[in-house]
Structure 1
Amino acid sequence: MIRSLPRSRTYNLSFNLFILAYFVFLFAPLVVTCVLAFNNSNFPALPWQGFTLDWFFSNGPKRVGLFHDAQTLRAIFTSFKTAVLMAFFSVVVGTCASFLFEKENFRFKGVLYFLMLAPLVIPGVILGISLLLAANTAGAFFDRTFGFDLDVFRPSFWLVVVGQFSFISTFVTLVVSARLRKFDTSLEEAALNLGATPLQVIWFVTLKYLRPAIFGAGAVAFLMSFENFNTTLFLIGSEPTLPINLYMQVRDGSTPIINAVSLMLIVGTSLLALVNLYFTRRGE
């Protein structure tokens, strides 16, 4: 509808109800999950049994809170370590790849760009299985040929890093490339004319312009790695990440500690989003 035209009360009422229903649909499950983290019940579900902080701080024989659950804390640390490495590698490689595709012309550029996009459209389950089979095949080849038994080819932390990198780096490349495409190259030419070296131009001019996109892509890469389940499920070794750990808890029967973990993740994600928004606006 054209905004300048008058709108009926029925339209306004329908519009407001739609907005309300939309946000209730989005946030009601999250609110319920957060509330149940303080429920004085041994089950992660309603009805409400009273307020308690046991699922965060308890260390008793009957209840173990989040901050005393060694298995969950190890899983959080593993996910955090994976996500930090993934964000760093993806930002470095993705930024370099964006320069390659936006500033260079070479044969088969379109083919290479298409191959780069392929991991984004492949289902995570298929990608995880393919990477696992490829790693097992490569590991068997090195073992038979050279007598090397390399841990990176077995389900392990590093195989998870490699598997997630195969598609998260592509996302970073697309985000940085979108901003680099809008860059005014005359700024680089002006800096070169004033005596700057090509490396100084990239560092002080181009990368400074790309900083909001780099920070944003890095934050999203961190979150994508932290919450990834489909691909990680097939590549994980003896160090499960948090999504895998939560899956095993739900499968085997969990306590409201899973709600406590969810609350902490919601708070952490919100803080990361605010930090990313701050740096993005500061860089514009």
Structure 2
Amino acid sequence: MLVTAKEMLLEAKQGKYAIGAFNVENMEMVMAVLAAAEAKNSPVIMQTTPGTIKYAGVDYYYANVAAAAARSKVPVVMHLDHGDSFDRAMAAYRAGYTSIMIDGSKLSLEENIALTKRVVDACHPGGVSVEGELGKVGGKEDDLDGGDDNPYTNPDEAKIFVEQTGVDYLAIGVGTAHGVYKGIPHVNTDLIATIRDLVDIPLVLHGTSGVPDDQVTTSVKNGICKVNYATDLRIAFTKGVKEFMAANPEAFDPKKYCKQGMAEVQKYVEQKIEVCGSANKA
């Protein structure tokens, strides 16, 4: 079933666990993520970035996820990850996405508040929840470029931001980055707890691919309710395809090599569901 993220994340906040949010690039990844969620009886969030949407359009990706959700008994959210403009957010809203992120983190605090509130005011009447971002997640992924610096979210600004925008959940900068890490990342889990004590909405951790599981577990204990994974799913899918083709160089049927890619994605997602603590929470 396709649902909005607000209630799902509030339940996670109350239960002190998190929901895995997995970026999906094609039909096979949608199928694999759903299979993992069903195997673990877990709620799940599937999401697409602007770069992914440019490849095929919001209608294509929404249709894939909506079809998968209609077959499943576990709750599924269709989320726009890092919406980069009001127009992009509204395109996803009109297509049927049940959760929208508007990323104004590169703007000044005042400009970020104004843009985020505009999206909130447009989405809330339709029952669609909204994620904002304050602080910056560094690194590069798809068309996202967070820069090389990694400014942390200011807790006092987070309180003001939440109060003035009415946003439903908040992505915060705590030391993570998009893409592939060059070394071992170090999440500022104490900062997560500080922000949690100042705001009353669920918090979101971006750039989690490559973050050690123990840091993710501590982040969840300290207040993270949504954990984003993207790069590692691409790596897992590609790994499966490459392994199949290496063993079967004459193969030409996409169903066969994609099946092994799907198996790798499902295995990865099942493990991250356990890390987030959402198994058997559907």
Q: TM-score, structure 2 length as denominator?
A: 0.23
Relative contact order (alpha carbons < 8 A, sep ≥ 6): 1 or 2 greater?
1
Q: Which is richer in strand?
A: 2
* Higher-Rg member (1/2): 1
